[in-house]
């Protein structure tokens, strides 16, 4: 598929897709006319990238862990350094804290909605 279709299917601007390609996060073949040709698997890959970026991971880390997302049970990391492992642990811990915060906020919104709905359901005196 061409870049416009990938952009439409993922909701990701073309410029950002080109950036992902420059960073080595996605790969496109080139057609004889020079147009990019993306495999359909890039739709899921872009969703993974967007999710990891939303979680706060930098592209340099995402590039290193993307191969693990293809086959999670076959993880081989020959170039893992202690520094990279420490960075990944920090990122994991940061994501865990963000998840806790999101859960607290979700629960607060749910309580608010329940209270408002309860008041709206009560007949006026």
pLDDT digit string (tens) for 14-60? 999 999 999 999 999 999 999 999 999 999 999 999 988 988 888 88
Residue 16's CATH number: 1.10.1660.10
Confidence of residue 81 (pLDDT cuts 50, 70, 90): confident
| 100 and 63 within one domain | no
Query: Phi and psi dihedrals of 21, rounded to 5?
Result: -65, -45
Residues 6+ apart with CB under 8 A from 65: 52, 57, 88
For the cut 80, the answer to whether the pLDDT of residue 80 exceeds it is no
Using CA atoms, how far apart are residues 92 and 50, in angstroms rounded to an integer? Answer: 16
Query: What mean pLDDT do residues 9-17 have?
Result: 95
Q: What is the pLDDT of residue 125?
A: 58
Whole-number percent of the chain with pLDDT over 70: 91
> Cα 85–88–90 angle (5° rounding)?
110
HSE toward the beta carbon, residue 115, CA cutoff 13 A: 6
Where a domain ends, among 72, 97, 112?
72
What is the C-alpha to C-alpha distance for residues 125 and 12, in angstroms, rounded to an integer? 52
90 and 54 in a common domain:
no
């Amino acid at each position: 598929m061409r870049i416009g279709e990938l952009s439409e299917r993922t909701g990701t601007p073309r410029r950002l897709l080109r950036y992902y390609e420059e960073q080595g996060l996605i790969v496109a073949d080139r057609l004889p006319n020079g147009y990019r040709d993306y495999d359909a698997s890039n739709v899921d890959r872009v969703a993974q990238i967007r999710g990891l970026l939303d979680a706060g991971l930098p592209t340099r880390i995402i590039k290193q862990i993307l191969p693990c997302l293809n086959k999670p049970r076959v993880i081989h990391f020959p170039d893992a350094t202690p520094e990279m492992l420490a960075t990944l642990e920090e990122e994991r811990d940061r994501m865990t804290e963000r998840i806790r915060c999101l859960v607290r906020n979700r629960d607060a919104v749910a309580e608010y909605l329940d209270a408002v709905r309860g008041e709206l359901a009560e007949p006026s005196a």
